[in-house]
Amino acid sequence: MIKKERLELTRATRKGFTLIEILIVVAIIAILASVVLVGLGPTQQAGRDSRRLSDLHEVQNGLELYYNACGYYPGKDATTPCTGYQNVGSYTALKGILTGFASLGIGQVPDDPTAGHHYTYSVIPTTGSAYILGAVLENKNNSVFTSYTPPTNLSSYSDGSGAQACTAATGQYCLTI
């Protein structure tokens, strides 16, 4: 009888959690964390889309600065800006042109927040008189598409990878002049 009382006394005075109790708490926390992360997905998607739209307007401002200085939208001006229009080959080349023109004061040109994706840029060949600047939005039901009119005459633009269909169906949102 004394041994039984001593055993009960020892169990009653033990402090701490058992391994099973700790595992249960960790499992509950993991389930709650996964539910929260899944719930944040659409919010993060909307945030990236908002950034894309803001970036396009920022690049558009840079294009207008370039146009005011040169009289045409950027092409591949070799090393000296405003020395004659040539067609630009990609958005990456456009970034180099805008940041390489020191008097514009553009230190950095934004790019798509998703790794491996880039914005698109196409210009009317030979003249540089108009451009299409585009981004693929993750949410094809984005509210920006409700009053959106896609640019026309896409075939008249160079294929600097920007002359894709600019529609809500493709998720491609484009700005043009």
- In the chain, helix, strand, coil percent, each to 5? 45, 10, 45
pLDDT of residue 89: 66
Q: Which of 134, 119, 135, 129 is nearest to 156 (CA)?
A: 129
Q: Residue 168: which residues within 8 A CB-CB, separation 6 or more?
A: 140, 141, 142, 145, 148
Length of the chain: 177
pLDDT tens-digit map of 4-15: 666 565 555 667
Residues of the chain under the 50 pLDDT cut: 160-163
Q: Which residue has the tokens 């945030």?
A: 47
pLDDT tens-digit map of 93-107: 888 888 888 888 888
Q: Calculate the alpha carbon distances from 160 to 44, 77, 121, 154, 156 in Å.
A: 29, 15, 6, 12, 12
